[in-house]
Amino acid sequence: MTQDADQQRAITPGEPRDTPARGRRTTSTLTSLGKGRKQWLLPFCLSVSFTVAIQTLGLSEFLPVPLALLAAAGWGIGIGLIAIRIRSKVTLSAWLEDALVVLGAVAMAFFAFGGLVGILLLSSALKSSSLSGETLVLMFLPSIPLAIMANAPMELLVVPVLLILGWREGTRRILIGAAAALYFVHRVWTYLVFASDRLDFAETEKSTTPLTAAERQQFYAELHLDDPRWILNLAIFAVFLLAAHFSRVRELKAATGSAGSQRPHSRSSMTKSEELGTS
């Protein structure tokens, strides 16, 4: 009787009743694999596409485009497969997801507020008639390694991995997707508009002679100090900060606690029913 009930429960809807048990297990396994693939395939493709596009733009400054594309694709696929493997480990995935959201918020806070301070500083310096090109370069150069230190983990790790780990139903998935889209615009904007002018400026301007008014205006334009990109930085920071509120670890602990509190209740219910049956 019990064996027949187990066999009936194992039958997949729409499957003939006389299907052998081994065939039913194979069908069930293939179905679960298909569902699992649907869960990670879209975020994996988004993650790899993000990495390939951004890293190709960045590496093409130093490498031929085919090599840059190959290197970007290799990293994107590699980090995506690692993220998929981590995603199957619930606790590790939850802690890593929360940590990457916090790291994203910190990095974008640096860009939003540090970038705004830098714009104000350089804009004020360019109003000085005694400012030389060398002094302006020395004021600007420290921001380049700091920007690289903040951008590298965002491009290579935070956004690609979060697109996979955070891809589940809920508010946080929407926030992570929005942050990734805004950051994608941010990086494309930077590579196409800012990077070439700033790198040329940092490498070529060495003059100790005070800049003329025309030169100061030229450098103001080349540095794009009137560009509102810092507002985009602030928006991305706000999205990451809001995403940090929806903690995956807290959600997991709440679910675990809820499941634990239900077990004693169910056991006591069974005991009462057994007593009633006995009496």
The answer to whether position 278 is within a domain reads: no
Q: Report the range of poorest mean pLDDT among 70-84, 128-142, 171-185, 187-201.
A: 187-201
The closest alpha carbon to 232, from 103, 115, 96, belongs to 115
pLDDT of residue 42: 92
In-domain check, residue 161: yes
Does the residue 270 lie in any domain?
no
Tell whether the model's pLDDT for residue 64 goes beyond 60. Answer: yes
Domain residues for the domain of 211 are 40-246
Higher pLDDT, 24 or 62: 62
Q: How many domains does the chain have?
A: 1
Domain annotation covers residue 29: no
Which tops the pLDDT comparison, 137 or 128? Answer: 128
Q: Does residue 269 form part of some domain?
A: no
Average pLDDT on 14-38 reads 48
What are the C-alpha distances in Å from 80 to residues 24, 37, 77, 158, 183?
32, 13, 5, 11, 18
- Tell me if 35 is assigned to some domain: no
